[in-house]
Amino acid sequence: MKIAIYNENFHEQTEKTVKKIYPDGIHGAIKAGIADDEFEIDTVTLESIDKLTDEYLNNTDVLIWWGHVKHGEVSDEIAERVANAVNKGMGIIFLHSAHFSKPFKKLMGTPCNLTWRENGDRELLWVTNPSHPIAQGIGRFIKLDHEEAYGEPFGIPEPDELVFIGSFQGGEVFRAGCCYKRGMGKVFYFQPGHETYPIYYEKDILKVIKNAVLWAKPIYRTNSLDAPNVQIPLEEIL
């Protein structure tokens, strides 16, 4: 399987605390954490984002996306390309603040806004659907000692399947693991992963991301989103 991890890689370069947690970047931590003999994993940062050509995306099975303060620097053209690739069958996983990324908003078609508080709340990520492939190997919940609180209302379309609800010490609840089908492709949004906490070293979080990669693997890919005019009918029309 060909997997690509996009991370804007900004906080790691500009904030000491984040650099200390993720010396190889968030993308590096996720790459190491989900490594598997079956996976060929490439990483892309904002600096190298021009790599995301149609050809590259057509050859990628699942793309993982982490972005936060640099959403605006991702061109509309690249966002369109990514959304098209999903509609053609590529799987995609949006992590944490990628809820405001251009490709996610394009695929959802809604504002994707939420409420938030950066106060190091304890979070419990409750499994709402134990039979779902993404929840396999996870107990009743995942406990994170500290995470940025995200809260409802979350401006997304009703998920096709909900796998996790996060509950925060300060009282908020949040739809933390949401599945969608878009065209031929599968989309998973997963809330954990604020950059100042070592979330992407947590065994269960990595397990969920790995499960999601396998779940989002394309089953069928089309190479065209056109609507062809089929002039010649199979039978004579009487």
Q: Which is nearer to Zn ion, 184 or 205 (CB)?
A: 205
**CA–CA dist 193, 197 (Å, integer):** 7
Query: Positive or negative, the Cα torsion across 123, 167, 18, 78?
Result: positive
Residue identified by tokens 């010396």 is 23
CB of 191 to Zn ion, least distance (A): 9
Strand 115-127, strand 161-168: pairing: antiparallel
194 counts as binding Zn ion under rule CB under 5 A:
yes
CB of 25 to Zn ion, least distance (A): 15
Q: Which is nearer to Zn ion, 60 or 191 (CB)?
A: 191
List the x/- string, 143-162, binding to Zn ion by CB under 5 A. -----x--------------
11 counts as binding Zn ion under rule CB under 5 A:
no
**Do 186 and 159 contact (CB within 8 A), yes or no?**
no
**Do 146 and 159 contact (CB within 8 A), yes or no?**
no
| Angle, CA 200 vertex, CA 74 and CA 46 arms, to 5° | 20
CB of 188 to Zn ion, least distance (A): 18
Query: What pairs with residue 43 in β-bridges?
Result: 5
Q: How many residues bind Zn ion (CB under 5 A)?
A: 3
List the x/- string, 94-123, binding to Zn ion by CB under 5 A. ---x--------------------------
Interface residues toward Zn ion, by CB under 5 A: 97, 148, 194
